[in-house]
C-alpha cells in the first residue's frame, strides 16, 4: 500500500507545483487572512477519489470538505495543502499532510513537499524516513543549542492567545525560532532533527496528524501544554526531542504565570 500512496501523493504534488506560481481563485474562510484556493479543493478531491479506490470503506477527516471530527475503522486525516498562504504567494513551504488511522490508531504518516521534493514518511513501529533515509529527532539537550519553530493563528489580531508572548520568551533563550507557515512541515522537520522543538496554538487534526506519528516514530514526544498526550481536542501542542520537550514544558509553565 505504501508505494501506491506515494504514487498518489506524487500525482497530487504535481497539481500543486504546476499551480504555485500562477494566479489562483481565492476565497476567505474564518478571517481575511484565512484563505482557500481552487487548488486546495482540487487536490483534496483528487486525493479522496484515489485513496477511496485504494482503501474502500475508508473515511476522511480533511480540511476543505470533511472537517467534522469523526471516528472510523479506517480514517484518512489530511490537509491537501498545508501552507495555503505560502502557496498563494508562491513561497515553496507547502505540503500535503496525510495520515491513516486504523481503529483509532495512527498507522501511516506522509508529509510531502512537492516544491523541494521532500517526502517524510512513517509507519507505526517502523521508524520515520525522509526520502528513504532514516530520520531521528535531534540530540540537543540545552535550549541555547536549539532551533525551534512555531506559527501564528489566523485570528492573531483579535485573539489574546496569539502566541507572541511565547515567541518572545523562546526567542530570547534559543539560537532561533522560525515560523515557516506550515505546521505539518514544522513537525516533519522536528522529526528529522532540523528543528529541536515545535509549539503552536489552535491547530486542527489535519495540520498535525501526520506530524505526530512522524515525531513519535523518530523518537520524539508530542503533548499539550500540560504535558498530557496530545489529542485532537487540545488547543495547544508542544513537541520535540525528549530533553528539549521537557525544557519547553518548563518554560511554558513560566510563560503561563506571566500572562
Ligand atoms: C495553517 C498552517 C500554519 C498554521 C495555521 C494553519 P493551512 O494551515 O499549518 O502553519 O500556523 O494555524 O491553519 O491553512 O495553510 O492549511
Ligand atoms: Ca493546515
Ligand atoms: Ca490547508
Ligand 2 mean position to 165 CA, how many Å? Answer: 23
- pTM as predicted: 0.96
In this prediction, residue 259 has a pLDDT band, given cuts at 50, 70 and 90, of low
- Pocket perturbation via mutation, ligand 1, pick of 96, 207, 235 by most ligand atoms within 8 A of CB: 207
pLDDT at 240: 98
Ligand 2 mean position to 221 CA, how many Å? Answer: 21
- CB within 6 Å of ligand 1 — which residues? 63, 79, 82-85, 151-153, 181-183, 203, 207
Cell of 109: 504518516
In this prediction, residue 159 has a pLDDT band, given cuts at 50, 70 and 90, of confident
CA atoms within a 13 Å half-sphere pointing along the CA-CB vector of 139: 1
pLDDT at 71: 80
- Pocket perturbation via mutation, ligand 1, pick of 82, 87, 167 by most ligand atoms within 8 A of CB: 82
CA-nearest residue for atom 13, ligand 1, is 203
pLDDT tens readout for residues 68-98: 877 889 999 999 999 999 999 999 999 999 9
Alpha-carbon span 217 to 84, nearest angstrom? 27
Across the strands, what pairs with 178? 149
List the domain boundaries for the chain: 2-134, 143-258
- Pocket perturbation via mutation, ligand 1, pick of 43, 183, 205 by most ligand atoms within 8 A of CB: 183
pLDDT tens readout for residues 168-185: 999 999 999 999 999 999
Cβ atoms 124, 140 nearer than 8 A: no
Of 240 and 28, more confident: 240
Strand 197-201 to 147-149 pairing: parallel
pLDDT tens readout for residues 2-14: 999 999 999 999 9
CATH no. of 2-134:
3.30.540.10
User: Residue 104, SS3?
Assistant: coil
Ligand 1 mean position to 93 CA, how many Å? Answer: 11
Q: Is the pLDDT of residue 99 over 80?
A: yes
Q: Residue 150, class by beta-carbon neighbours within 10 Å (0-12 exposed, 13-18 middle, 19+ buried)?
A: buried
pLDDT tens readout for residues 191-213: 999 999 999 999 999 999 999 99
Ligand 2 mean position to 139 CA, how many Å? Answer: 28
**Phi/psi of residue 33, each to 5°?**
-105, 5
Q: Is the pLDDT of residue 19 over 70?
A: yes
- Among left, alpha and beta (phi > 0; psi -120 to 50; other), residue 6 is alpha
Quickly list H helices, the chain.
2-19, 38-54, 84-89, 164-171, 183-191, 205-217, 242-258
Ligand 3 mean position to 183 CA, how many Å? Answer: 10
Cβ atoms 200, 180 nearer than 8 A: no
- The atom of ligand 1 lying closest to the CA of 153 is 12
**Phi/psi of residue 71, each to 5°?**
-115, 145
pLDDT tens readout for residues 219-251: 999 999 999 999 999 999 999 999 999 999 999
How many residues are present in the chain? 259
CATH no. of 143-258:
3.40.190.80
Cβ atoms 63, 204 nearer than 8 A: yes
Instruction: Check if 2-134 and 143-258 are the same fold.
Output: no
Cβ atoms 119, 131 nearer than 8 A: yes
Amino acid at each position: 500500500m505504501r508505494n501506491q500512496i506515494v504514487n498518489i501523493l506524487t500525482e497530487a504534488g504535481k497539481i500543486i507545483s504546476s499551480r504555485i506560481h500562477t494566479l489562483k481563485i481565492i476565497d476567505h474562510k474564518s478571517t481575511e487572512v484565512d484563505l482557500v484556493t481552487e487548488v486546495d479543493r482540487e487536490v483534496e478531491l483528487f486525493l479522496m477519489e484515489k485513496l477511496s479506490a485504494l482503501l474502500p470503506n475508508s473515511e476522511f477527516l480533511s480540511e476543505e470538505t470533511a472537517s467534522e471530527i469523526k471516528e472510523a475503522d479506517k480514517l484518512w486525516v489530511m490537509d491537501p495543502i498545508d501552507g495555503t498562504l505560502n502557496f498563494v504567494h508562491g513561497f515553496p513551504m507547502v505540503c500535503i499532510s496525510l495520515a491513516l488511522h486504523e481503529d483509532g490508531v495512527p498507522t501511516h504518516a506522509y508529509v510531502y513537499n512537492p516544491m523541494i521534493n521532500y517526502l517524510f514518511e512513517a509507519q507505526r513501529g517502523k521508524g520515520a524516513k525522509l526520502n528513504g533515509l532514516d530520520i531521528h529527532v535531534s540530540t540537543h539537550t540545552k535550549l541555547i543549542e536549539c532551533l525551534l519553530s512555531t506559527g501564528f493563528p489566523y485570528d492573531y489580531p483579535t485573539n489574546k492567545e496569539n502566541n507572541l508572548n511565547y515567541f518572545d520568551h523562546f526567542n530570547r533563550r534559543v539560537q532561533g525560532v522560525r515560523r515557516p507557515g506550515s505546521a505539518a512541515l514544522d513537525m516533519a522537520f522536528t522529526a528529522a532533527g532540523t528543528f529541536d522543538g515545535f509549539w503552536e496554538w489552535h491547530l486542527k487534526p489535519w495540520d498535525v496528524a501526520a506530524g505526530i506519528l512522524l515525531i513519535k516514530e523518530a523518537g520524539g514526544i508530542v503533548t499539550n501544554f500540560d504535558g498530557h498526550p496530545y489529542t485532537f481536542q487540545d488547543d495547544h501542542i508542544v513537541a520535540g526531542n525528549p530533553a528539549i520537550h521537557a525544557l519547553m514544558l518548563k518554560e511554558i509553565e513560566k510563560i503561563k504565570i506571566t500572562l
